[in-house]
Chains A and B, each alone.
Chain A
């Protein structure tokens, strides 16, 4: 982001946030039942006050911070159960919220009027003083807890200023938190003259040396005018991850000093920490709830994309002004300029379209990010060793598609882990490395995005797939299928090869659901497999749901659009290839398959050029593994069309997925192939537009 944020804007943000926080405090305070403090509600209120206090101090609004501190102190006691929630206390809190709100809202207008705040502060303090002995003690603790002293501030003030000897033996895992002893030495060296002597190197076993462990100890000698506090500060964060002895040179009085410091630190810190561990965490989510619900409808866009868009609009304006010169006086000698302008316009339009689409695009890493964890956990649960390789995680796709592809991907990955990859023993026996490889690839191909899930497991057992499919009646007993068709039988509804329902896949949702989900996104999924070598699942998705690669078809005077992704082929058939079954439904034989014929002119009740099958064309379209032949008069061009929702303008219709406006201004309906197939089956082969909307 290259936004230049200045302090005034940030302070404005703080004001807005505080106002939100105060609203939350108010509504939560209203929810408080006197007597019984719901800890989560109390936490929410406390947190809001705490943020206002913290932010106020950070942004230099001392009056706000100071007053919020008083409120917070009282709240802290109530939160920790050291003070009863009385109607009186809640009233005072509500008044304080009002006061804070007034103070906050006038922040930008200059000096804050603190008269009311001072009055309330006195009332708050009075209330604090009228506390039981327990509460008084607790008040002290609360105060300490909110004092916000930096970690490891020296707890006692040692008068010795001078030179020190330090023995420092960090725990072996100190490097794990990136606390490099060298850094500490460097810092000490900035305080005075430092001698460093490493110890323990002679006992190291170099054979077993782990580079991520720190096995050395150091004897440090620091010369100069240095206070104990400065040294403590340097070691503050690591002091419980090491053995540390700090001794003044030439001063024998404070032998046990470091211990004393630690002890007093702990004593003062413990009471603060104890309530913190009781506190149920989810406080922020409550406060953030409105923001979370907005998330689905908003999108964060990289500023570069917005800049590119503005740039293009600029170019469009230039083209427009170039073309506007032809307004009125038209001279044929200038024809080439007109042509140039139009070429430029079409380029601008295309780039503008791409650029606008890019705004909705997010990298697929958003969907991939959950897999390293999932693969590890699943692999462990199954006793399989898996290496995950991810390629092309920066490939971008539409936000809506991205959101919806997550679940099918998870299912396919789990499927590969569960059924594809073998256990280390099996793999070893098969002469393969014990660790299986699961690969996730994403890349752009034409106007589509292709996602592959590849495993090097056992592959899909085609004989078994085929025999199960026959058993379940998914395939006719004498039907011959290609290997590819057999593999893809796993996506058919009612198919599951798992004998035993495992914990992971194979329960409830099957591969047919995966396929349907992907089909809902306008894409499709296919499987390829090689026995013993592994399987590959390929998902092909449109980049966006807003634009469709369509084939325009004509029936009479009407134009309809069929998604290019669903079209298998277009053929001319003779009426001798058509069989009429059970009254009205027509089937035609395409190679080894009988496909139902859908006559669009019948479906929409319009006049076609000809109802004779010999005169038109059959567009063979596929959805969910089923094919139909759509009878049309003629094919027209292929083009990208912008999908307009029928639902938002009219109502949802089965068989129609939307509409678009063509170049000449006419409206064309976009066919929904799965819907057409469903219509065909619903009506027992006779197609009629349903009279009522099917939601």
Chain B
């Protein structure tokens, strides 16, 4: 069973992502912001990271940058799930090491198929 670290400061988004991922048979670990995710990640490995961009404390792009500097996260796929669709943000995300970019509102099917593709 693949594990996904899902990071979003919106409780409803966390709820929805959890619901969708669990239905698809993933193990889900939740964090409310980048800092919490990073703290978890320092000691735990997951198969995939799914993060929002705009979050307090540590935003998604910084989170990806920090995670990429951890040896056990160097080659973990990291997907961004955000309302941001601007090219600059995407470039920033890519430079930080993001593996892909999904724009909210998201289609659950598309989320699952993207994750499955990346994990294949």
Contacts and interface: CB of A to CB of B under 8 A. Distances in A.
B103 interface: yes
A365 B84 contact: no
Contacts of B54: 47, 281, 283-284
A289 to B, nearest CB: 9
A295 B100 CA distance: 32
A272 B100 contact: no
B16 A59 contact: yes
Given A57-B105, A59-B12, A288-B9, A6 B19 contact: yes
Nearest to B75: A178
B83 A284 contact: no
Interface stretch (A144-152, A325-333, A506-514, A655-663): A144-152
B30 to A, nearest CB: 7
Given A55-B105, A183-B120, A5 B15 contact: yes
Interface in A40-77: 47, 50-51, 54-59, 65
Interface in B1-54: 9-13, 15-16, 18-19, 30, 38-39, 42-43, 54
Nearest to B11: A13
Contacts of A604: none
A149 B100 contact: no
A143 B98 CA distance: 26
Interface string B77-120: 11000011111111100100111111111100010000001101
Please classify how large the interface on chain B is, using the bins under 10, 10 to 19, 20 to 34, 35 or more: 35 or more
A17 B10 contact: yes
A283 B101 CA distance: 21
Nearest to A50: B83
Contacts of A240: 91, 94
B88 A276 contact: yes
A59 B12 CA distance: 9
Contacts, number: 135
A369 B67 CA distance: 13
A177 B94 contact: yes
A151 B89 CA distance: 11
Contacts of A372: 42
B43 A365 contact: yes
Contacts of A346: none
B88 to A, nearest CB: 4
A57 B11 CA distance: 16
B85 to A, nearest CB: 5
Contacts of B75: 175, 178
A149 B103 contact: yes
A116 B84 CA distance: 29
Nearest to B101: A151
B105 A148 contact: yes
Contacts of A284: 9, 54-56
B104 A58 contact: yes
B39 A273 contact: no
B87 A178 contact: no
A179 interface: yes
A58 B68 contact: no
A16 B12 CA distance: 9
A656 B19 CA distance: 52
27 contacts: A5-B15, A6-B19, A10-B19, A13-B15, A17-B11, A17-B12, A51-B10, A54-B83, A54-B105, A55-B10, A58-B105, A59-B12, A65-B105, A147-B85, A150-B103, A151-B85, A179-B100, A183-B120, A240-B91, A241-B94, A266-B87, A269-B86, A270-B87, A272-B87, A277-B88, A363-B43, A365-B43
The 7 lowest CB-CB distance pairs between A and B, nearest first, are A10-B15, A57-B105, A58-B105, A13-B12, A273-B88, A276-B86, A14-B12
Given A266-B87, A272-B87, 11 more contacts: A16-B12, A146-B85, A149-B103, A151-B103, A178-B76, A273-B89, A277-B88, A281-B54, A363-B43, A365-B43, A393-B43
